[in-house]
Chain A
């Protein structure tokens, strides 16, 4: 594959990366659409205008916090409280961004900064399972296409949810709630199959998450699970193969 890329012209290498990014983004799209539609519907019920609903998706691009934000707006919570709660809930992206940006260490800031803004739980997970693109020619187009695919689904879905209301039958949208979890599982399992230690890291992170959620908010629990689970990886993984 990398040999072929060398033979190809620069233009077709870019096109190849864009196509690959879009295709890896499709499972995210599938998971985002029903969630974004639901967000649009709820935000509308919370009294937000179509413009506000869409703008929040454009500017925040973080599902859980948008649901929370719309819910808090609905019950008339103060602005500062909503903003602080958003910060706590989305702080996990700081940890994820550190991991992803460290992969792109040698790439210029003109790529790193926009790509960092496209990081969500889902785009980060898919991008992190495709580390080889970081070293390939035009590989940044892969990550950009992946994120733009997810982002467009999120923004378009929110807009449609606000405009059209409940268009997906409840039983189907509820069933689709499993989509993103299934995607996470589908991303994790191939690595576990290759290396049992990866599975151990994930299970430790789950347990830390469950344990800390007894004492702190969900946002911090995920941050702790990710950090401590990852720290176990320092001792479990003896160096990188690459």
Chain B
């Protein structure tokens, strides 16, 4: 039964990932759709960051926000992304320890 669930989950995840590969092969989009698709990554990043970041520690939403603020500052200073990630982890760690 669990195997059936896994296979089903796999199919409904893989098919939507794959379909666009075939669609962009066949269809030529007008320029405004291309612009839309090019802006998607930035919109996706926004939607993925917030409000999800509040659930880093669900009972203390401010921890996620502070960690995020540290990440914003470090990234704004132009630090390598690995250091941004480590800095945010260290911040949340120190605040919860």
Q: By the criterion CB–CB under 8 Å, are A226 and B43 in contact?
A: yes
B16 engages A206 (CB within 8 Å): no
Q: Which 9 A-B pairs have the closest CB atoms?
A: A233-B39, A229-B43, A202-B46, A225-B47, A128-B41, A182-B88, A205-B46, A189-B75, A94-B16
B residues in contact with A117, CB < 8 Å: 14, 17-18
- Give the contacting residue for A119; candidates B17, B64, B75, B89; CB below 8 A: B17
Taking residues whose C-beta sits less than 8 angstroms from the other chain, chain A's interface range is: 35 or more
For B, the interface residue count at a CB cutoff of 8 angstroms equals 73
Residue pair A226, B47 in contact (C-beta under 8 Å): yes
Offer 30 A-B interface pairs, CB within 8 angstroms, sorted by A. A52-B3, A55-B3, A60-B10, A82-B5, A82-B8, A93-B16, A97-B16, A97-B20, A99-B41, A101-B24, A102-B38, A109-B25, A116-B21, A117-B14, A128-B41, A172-B93, A175-B89, A177-B92, A182-B89, A183-B81, A185-B75, A193-B76, A201-B43, A202-B43, A213-B51, A222-B47, A225-B47, A226-B40, A230-B39, A231-B39
Within 8 A of B (CB), among A89-103: 90-102
